[in-house]
Amino acid sequence: MLTFPQEDIEVFRQFIREGSFFALTCHTNPDGDALGSTLALANWLRQMGKEAVVIVPDMYPDFLQWLPGAQDAVRADKYPDKAKLTLSLADVVLCMDYNTPSRTEQLEPFIRESKGKKVLIDHHLDPEPFCDVSFSAPSASSTAEIVFSLIEQMEGASLLTFEAAECLYCGMMTDTGAFTYNSSRPEVYAIISRLLALRIDKDKIYRRVYHNYSEGRLRLIGYSLYEKMRVYPEQKAALIYLSKAEMAKFQYVKGDTEGLVNMPLQMKGIVLSCFLREDTEKSSIRVSLRSVGNFPCNRFAEQYWSGGGHLNASGGSFDGSLDDAVAHFEEALKEFKP
Ligand code: 5GP
Ligand code: MN
């Protein structure tokens, strides 16, 4: 099990003891780990008799709607005043699954200005020191794993509910591609065993997340692989690129292209996959990068896509047209020295 310095645990314990109103935040485009870890901790805090409000910068994908408590999350893009007020009133602000407040976009100023005690719980590299106490573990499979470990270290695991266990399992599962990467530490399975003891049905959770495609989504994947994938054998790379119009043709809803960037890595010999899509909310291009082995996606993202992330999974954005982004990718590919 991950363990954190006892003095930090004591600080967190004190915040929990002295606080009554907790605001929990996660990054924009919440994924299964961001939302799952946040909802789980909120659930646990409520078991401790605290008031806990979850704030998401924007909508989470459809396949996470079933997460217990997701329906009550405050959407900051829809209710900015409520998000702002909640953060200004909070005794404690929890910063979940992000290493810098800029990852929460419009929440950033409210988080920075909040008078509440700030606690970071995250597994991204290089956390910005903006919190009163930070539980950062880049080696962790997921923020959900850190949440479980923290609760365990604070001797609070007896208050974990079935609902919180479902949320934690979802976080660990989605951040490891259903335990296919970043998940070889035995602790991961020790935690899963504890969650199973709370009677979660892991197969049901898998199906809810991965087997709930609309017809449009499955056809969009087929179209992307058949018509919109370029392969660069020399650079061991592949690219998929989609316009808004193409996505609309397949009745795109948010989350429909989740996981698409991983698919080219199923080809023998491919070590880098890039997915470019026109942002449905902004006039820029969203960039997703995945790699296998030691190809540094994060350096590639920093250098060419104003982004960052992990060694094998990064993201960023590009200002310009989709065609320009494709050209930029091809240039970058020639130039970049991994
Ligand atoms: P995704 O491709 O799923 O959107 O993002 C994968 C990972 O890349 C995220 O977990 C996050 O660590 C990182 N990431 C995505 N977008 C950005 C970005 O715009 N800036 C930075 N610094 N990291 C990003
Ligand atoms: Mn995560």
How confident is the model over 283-321, as pLDDT tens digits? 999 999 999 999 999 999 999 999 998 899 999 999 999
pTM of the model: 0.86
Tokens of 261: 């960037």
Instruction: Please name the residues in contact with 144: beta carbons below 8 A apart, sequence gap of 6 or more.
Output: 33, 36, 37, 40, 167, 168, 169, 170, 171, 172, 175
State how far the Cα of 109 lies from the Cα of 76, in Å rounded to an integer.
12
Q: Which residue segments constitute the domains of the chain, with CATH numbers given?
A: 6-210 (3.90.1640.10), 215-335 (3.10.310.30)
Q: Which ligand is nearest to the CA of 142?
A: 2
Q: Which ligand is nearest to the CA of 258?
A: 1
Report residue 255's pLDDT band, with 50, 70 and 90 as the boundaries: confident
Minimal CA–CA distance to 267: which of 248, 251, 290, 242? 290
What is the distance in A from the centroid of ligand 2 to the CA of 305? 20
CA gap 324, 287 in Å, rounded: 13
Ligand 1 atom with minimal separation from the 124 CA = 12
Residues with C-beta less than 6 Å from any ligand 1 atom: 124, 288, 307-310, 313-317
pLDDT class of 62 with cuts at 50, 70, 90: confident
Share of the chain above pLDDT 90, in %: 94
**CA proximity to 198, closest of 154, 167, 165, 173:** 165
Q: How far apart are CA 43 and CA 49, in angstroms?
A: 10
Distance 175 CA to ligand 2 centre (A): 6
Radius of gyration of the chain (CA): 20
- The ligand 1 atom at the shortest distance from the C-alpha of residue 290 is 2
Q: What is the pLDDT of residue 58?
A: 96
Ligand 1 atom index nearest CA of 317: 19
Q: Which residues contact 97 (CB under 8 A, 6 or more apart)?
A: 26, 27, 33, 34, 37, 38, 121, 122, 123, 124, 143
* Cα(148)–Cα(96) distance, integer angstroms: 13
Which ranges constitute the DSSP H helices of the chain? Answer: 6-18, 32-47, 80-89, 108-113, 143-153, 162-175, 186-197, 202-210, 215-227, 244-249, 297-304, 322-335
Give the bridge partners for 278, in sequence order. 285
Mean pLDDT of 262-279: 97
Residue whose C-alpha is closest to residue 220's, from 252, 254, 267: 252
